[in-house]
Amino acid sequence: MRATSDICVLADDDLRFKENYAEIVEKHFNENPNCDVIIFNLEGCDSRYIIKKKFKVGYKNFMRFGAARIAFRRKSITKNGITFNLHFGGGTEYSAGEDTLFLHDCLRKGLKIVAVPDSIATLLENRESTWFKGYTDKYFLDRGALFAAISKKWAPLLCLQYAIRKRRLFIRDKSWFTAFKLMLRGAKEFHS
């Protein structure tokens, strides 16, 4: 809301931008004049999805990107009334998901999003996560709330696919079925 530049880059406090990041961002927007949002790689983050070649971001793959990778045309966002949901993100009621909801809203409004293999910053990882405290009950309740915010109708299916597809990540802490039930509860509580 307070930005004034034509192109905006989202950042976290644990990023160190490359000296030429502005040129990299500008180059990609010049090469993609019809694109509203561009997602970049981050260095120094083994657990994050690595973009190997340019591709269109759509409903099948938008949930894999965090805010710190996103650059956008300010006018595309403001003209479409897209904002961050203040109930989601570090320090809020639901500890994560603001970036996922932002990208979902961009897609819902018909904005064009691409992911490119260039990196613009390094994630320093020199501090504890402000939101991830392990695969706790709260983690799954919040994940269910996120899926409900994306789609009340499809939330149960989103919870189920996550519980099954990501079960290897949390199998030491929870069974996939326990995780699924917690997410369903989080989705239900979100809409009540």
Q: How far apart are CA 36 and CA 105, in angstroms?
A: 12
Report which of 150, 155, 154 is spatially closest to residue 106, judged by C-alpha positions: 150
End-to-end alpha carbon distance in the chain: 29
User: Which tens digits make up the pLDDT trace of 17-62?
Assistant: 999 999 999 999 999 999 999 999 998 865 578 999 999 999 999 9
pTM of the model: 0.91
Q: How far apart are CA 81 and CA 86, in angstroms?
A: 14
User: Which tens digits make up the pLDDT trace of 136-181?
Assistant: 999 999 999 999 999 999 999 999 999 999 999 999 999 999 999 9
